[in-house]
Structure 1
Amino acid sequence: VNCQHAFFQLLHQGPRLISSDFIVPVNSFYHVSTQHKVLVANAFAQTEALMRGKTLAEAYAELIHLDNKSRDIMAPQKVFPGNQPSNTLLIDEINPFNLGMLLAMYEHKVFVQGVIWGINSFDQWGVEYGKVLAKNIEPELSTNDSLHHDASTNGLIDYFRKHHHDTNLN
């Protein structure tokens, strides 16, 4: 599967409930029908696993071929709660129109959540503050002047200064 296993581990057994969306194209842009079916089957299987979970009894039953000590060690590691929220969105194919629809859907979702939570989803004061700070940091990237930021930001700027290779053609 073309996906990071640690990410799915977080969804299945992580410390927080994470709602996830699986966006699955029914048809592949490439002519790789067999591989595409493998990927689709894995997407559907992950959403089923997120929904169902696995009990300790099911984990023990899977490990019936092992000795009791090994089963006692391994079985608890194979348990996950299920009832993890996920959506599966099937689209005909990935193309500009469908990507635009998905972007519009997520923008609308953010707007509706903001209305429900009583916040303006389009006031981005944190982003604006970051832009103000960036105006001060950008010139510092090209100088050796002393820095007056927190230790973390100073360290990032120092590292950049030491390792950046200027490729500007101007």
Structure 2
Amino acid sequence: ITKHLQQLDMESNGKSVRQDGKPVSTDTGPVIWGGVGCNGQHAYHQLLHQGTQLIPADFIVPIVSFNPVSDHHQWLYANCLSQSQALMLGKTLAEAETELRDKGLSEDEVQKLAPHKVIPGNRPSNTLVVERISPRRLGALVAMYEHKVFVQSVIWGINAFDQWGVELGKELGKGVYNRLVGSEEAPAEDASTQGLINYFRGRHRG
């Protein structure tokens, strides 16, 4: 679902000009990424918790697993809730210091390490709980996100149904291809691209 939402949101609302031709006055089209929660904990969750940018997050979790193994699903569900809880509550400096003292660290170690364990908290997230992952519920999720994207485009006054930024890359791609295969000898519009074309042509075999 993440890849679908990337196209849905970033391609639809990644615009800087309103339908009336005037520049937008706010940020539009968020950068979207995501994946399986357990993997995310060891990839980008660190950025969500302690990064310098405020990044809203959606957690999508089913109650019923299609592959019940012992209490694995309970642990997965618990980790989902605890991650959203951590984003909300965070950890203060005083809490970090107390935690480290309780672990027996010296006061010097506490003062050095505690600032690094502070988590701001108050970071927005939604936890979307579904009974199980099924075609009907997946469709409902997609419909919800589609509605969100459309409503945002109306509020911002942008057209969610064109992709002129993508078209420019396609147009330039024809000229780059022709230079790669040698059917066009005129140099590229910029030295950087021409240098990369020359590098390819000097080393490619086939």
Structure-to-structure mapping, 1:53-72, within 5 angstroms? 53-64=90-101, 65-72=104-111
Mapped pair 1:15 → 2:55: no
How has the CA–CA distance of structure 1 residues 129 and 43 changed in structure 2, closer, same or farther, with 3 Å as cutoff?
same
SS in 1 for 2:108: helix
Match for residue 6 of structure 1? 43
What code does the residue aligned with 2:129 have?
A: L
Matching residue within 149, 155, 160 for 2:196? 155
Question: How many equivalent residue pairs?
Answer: 164
Deviation at 1:80, TM superposition (A): 1.2
Deviation at 1:97, TM superposition (A): 2.3
Task: Report the Cα distance in structure 1 between the residues aligned to 2:155 and 2:48, rounded to whole angstroms.
Answer: 25
Task: Report the Cα distance in structure 1 between the residues aligned to 2:170 and 2:123, rounded to whole angstroms.
Answer: 36
Task: Report the Cα distance in structure 1 between the residues aligned to 2:96 and 2:159, rounded to whole angstroms.
Answer: 46
Task: Report the Cα distance in structure 2 between the residues aligned to 1:126 and 1:112, rounded to whole angstroms.
Answer: 21
Match for residue 85 of structure 1? 124
What code does the residue aligned with 1:25 have?
A: P
Task: Report the Cα distance in structure 2 between the residues aligned to 1:8 and 1:20, rounded to whole angstroms.
Answer: 10
Deviation at 1:14, TM superposition (A): 0.9
SS in 1 for 2:81: helix
What code does the residue aligned with 1:2 have?
A: N
Match for residue 115 of structure 2? 76
Match for residue 126 of structure 1? 165
Match for residue 9 of structure 2? none
Match for residue 89 of structure 2? 52
Deviation per CA, 1:59-98: give whole Å up to 9, x if none. Answer: 0011002001111111001101111000000011122222
What code does the residue aligned with 2:145 have?
A: Y
Name the TM-score, length of structure 2 as normaliser.
Answer: 0.68
Identity %: 52
- The runs of 5 or more residues in structure 2 that have no matched partner are 1-37
Task: Report the Cα distance in structure 1 between the residues aligned to 2:123 and 2:201, rounded to whole angstroms.
Answer: 41
Tell me if the contact between 2:100 and 2:114 (Cα under 8 Å) persists in the aligned partners: yes
Taking only aligned residues, the RMSD between alpha carbons, in angstroms, comes to 2.8
What code does the residue aligned with 1:108 have?
A: H
How has the CA–CA distance of structure 1 residues 133 and 105 changed in structure 2, closer, same or farther, with 3 Å as cutoff?
farther
What code does the residue aligned with 1:52 have?
A: L
How has the CA–CA distance of structure 1 residues 87 and 74 changed in structure 2, closer, same or farther, with 3 Å as cutoff?
same
SS in 1 for 2:128: strand
What code does the residue aligned with 1:68 have?
A: E
Task: Report the Cα distance in structure 2 between the residues aligned to 1:53 and 1:43, rounded to whole angstroms.
Answer: 15
Deviates most, 106-115 or 128-137: 128-137
What code does the residue aligned with 2:137 have?
A: N
